[in-house]
Amino acid sequence: DWTPQSFVEETVETLQTQLGNDKVVLGLSGGVDSSVAAMLLHKAIGKNLYCIFVNNGLLRKNEFEDVLNQYEGMGLNVKGVDASARFLDALAGLSDPEEKRKAIGRVFIEVFDDEAHLIQDVKWLAQGTIYPDVIESVSATGGPSATIKSHHNVGGLPDFMKLKVVEPLKALFKDEVRRVGASMNMDSQLLGRHPFPGPGLAIRILGDLTAEKVRILQEVDFIFINNLRSWGLYDKVWQAGAILLPVNSVGVMGDERTYEKCVALRAVESTDGMTADWVNLPYEFLQKTSNEIINKVKGVNRVVYDISSKPPATIEWE
Ligand code: XMP
């Protein structure tokens, strides 16, 4: 019968036979799937696994540094590449959600290809694809985790895509991936992380992006997520985040009227992201969190809570 331990043993053996002394490149996202895939490959081939973690400048506050440190602490051969400026440049002037996604996908491939070229004689591309991704790409909905695959029709194929592909988690569901990670003693906070979209905060800043908007949203999101953790709510929620609305509204501070940004908070329960219900967060939690956001984040004077379920609303606003 299937156990995480036996899966790890068998997979490590298979990978060793399959890969021999070959070099493998893998893009880490900070998410559960790519991290567990990396750990399995690391067990199998050690330093022949070359991990690349790209900062697109659209991650959560402190995420790039924190997660990179964590990966290094796990013994992974990982290179952090800060390409924030390149992504922000490519996004300048774009406000359509699909155009933003395309620009991010394109730059990601460029950056990843440049980095993969620096590794001599790399033979394989590893991916953290899991079973639901396989189904999704068959039904061509272009959903989660499809960052690499869904963009390979943009012009000629980048060199790294000519590599052979290895996908050790391809037969697993998310909960099995988490159990496999736990059986390799991976950090429970890393394994319990909420799903986070590849285009990151770009699709939670409605309309066009600026560095300032990214900063504001990072601050808001940081307060929201930290409060969910400190209230013991984080693990009860499938996914949560904040959205920066393209709306200014009037407020009052001291004797002055303000005209500033509005943010929405979103927290949903789900099992696979296909359907989702908004979470009935305690009023007291919402009250404290809203006060904290408005007091601490300059430029925000109004907070709303999204009470829409999927369908018909999607989880992301773009
Ligand atoms: P929606 O908004 O479609 O989201 O209800 C369902 C799940 O997919 C994630 N999502 C994405 N993930 N690239 C990704 O990697 C994307 O472009 C993307 N769009 C949505 C979303 O965060 C949720 O978990």
Which position has the higher pLDDT, 141 or 128?
Answer: 128
- Among 29, 150, 271, 316, which residue has the most ligand 1 atoms within 8 Å of its CB, making it the best to mutate? 316
Name the residue ranges covered by the structural domains of the chain: 4-191, 204-305
**Pocket lined around ligand 1, Cβ cut-off 6 Å:** 101, 143-145, 147, 195, 197-199, 239, 273, 310, 314-316
Note the pLDDT tens digit of each residue in 161-193: 889 999 999 999 999 999 999 999 999 999 999
User: What CATH number was assigned to the domain covering residues 4-191?
Assistant: 3.40.50.620
Note the pLDDT tens digit of each residue in 211-226: 999 999 999 999 999 9
Annotated binding site for ATP: 29-35
Instruction: Tell me if the bond preceding 97 is cis, omega within 30° of 0.
Output: no
Q: Which fold has domain 204-305?
A: GMP Synthetase; Chain A, domain 3 (3.30.300)
| Interface predicted TM-score of the whole assembly (ipTM), two decimals | 0.99
Mark residue 185 as left, alpha or beta (left: phi above 0; alpha: psi -120 to 50; beta: remaining): left
Cβ burial of 212 (10 Å; 0-12, 13-18, 19+) is: exposed
Q: What is the value of pTM for the model shown?
A: 0.91
176, 4 in Cβ contact below 8 A?
yes
